[in-house]
Amino acid sequence: MIISASRRTDIPSYYSDWFFHRLEEGNVLVRNPVNQKQVGKVSLSPGVVDGIVFWTKNPAPMLNRLKDPVLEPYSYYFQFTLTPYGKDAEPGLPSKKSVLIPAFRKLASLLGRERVIWRYDPVFFSDTYTLEYHSRCFRFLASELEGCMETCTVSFLDYYSNTFTATRPLRIHPSSAGQQLELLERFSETAAAHGFRLNTCAEALDSEFLGIPHGCCIDKSLLERIGGCRLSVGRDTGQRPECGCASSIDIGAYNSCRNGCLYCYANHSPAALRRNYQSHDPRSPLLYGSTQPGDIIRERKAVSFREDQLTIFDLSGK
pTM reported for the whole predicted model: 0.94
* Nearest-angstrom CA–CA distance, 188 and 204: 18
Give the list of residues 6+ apart from residue 246 with CB closer than 8 angstroms, or none: 2, 216, 218, 219, 220, 223, 231, 233, 234, 235, 236
pLDDT at 309: 60
Q: How many angstroms from the chain centroid is the CA of residue 159?
A: 18
Domain boundaries along the sequence of the chain: 2-316
30: left (phi over 0), alpha (psi -120 to 50) or beta: beta
* Nearest-angstrom CA–CA distance, 236 and 243: 8
User: Of 168, 174, 215, 178, nearest to 196 (Cα)?
Assistant: 215
* Nearest-angstrom CA–CA distance, 262 and 169: 9
* Nearest-angstrom CA–CA distance, 73 and 81: 25
* Nearest-angstrom CA–CA distance, 111 and 279: 33
CB 100 within 8 A of CB 92: no
Q: Where are the alpha helices (DSSP H) in 247-295?
A: 270-278
* Nearest-angstrom CA–CA distance, 136 and 153: 17
Please state at what angle helix 177-194 crosses helix 131-144, rounded to 10 degrees.
20
Q: What is the pLDDT along the chain (318 residues), one digit of tens a residue?
A: 999 999 999 999 999 999 999 999 999 999 999 999 999 999 999 999 999 999 999 999 999 999 999 999 999 999 999 999 999 999 999 999 999 999 999 999 999 999 999 999 999 999 999 999 999 999 999 999 999 999 999 999 988 878 888 999 999 999 999 999 999 999 999 999 999 999 999 888 999 999 999 999 999 999 999 999 999 998 888 787 778 899 999 999 999 999 999 999 999 999 999 999 999 999 999 999 999 999 999 999 888 999 866 554 455 443
pLDDT at 202: 85
The distance between the two most distant Cα atoms of the chain, rounded to a whole number of Å, is 58
CB 92 within 8 A of CB 104: no
> Which DSSP category does 247 fall into?
P
User: Of 127, 137, 136, 134, nearest to 156 (Cα)?
Assistant: 134
State yes or no: cis peptide before 6, omega within 30 of 0: yes
pLDDT at 239: 80
The SS3 call for residue 267 is coil
pLDDT at 317: 47
- Could you tell me what percentage of the chain is helix, strand and coil, using 3-state DSSP and rounding each to the nearest 5? 30, 20, 50
Give the list of residues 6+ apart from residue 200 with CB closer than 8 angstroms, or none: 153, 154, 155, 184, 207, 212, 213, 214, 215
DSSP string, 158-224: ---TTHHHHTGGG-PBP--HHHHHHHHHHHHHHHHHHT-EEEESS--S--GGGT--B--SS-HHHHH
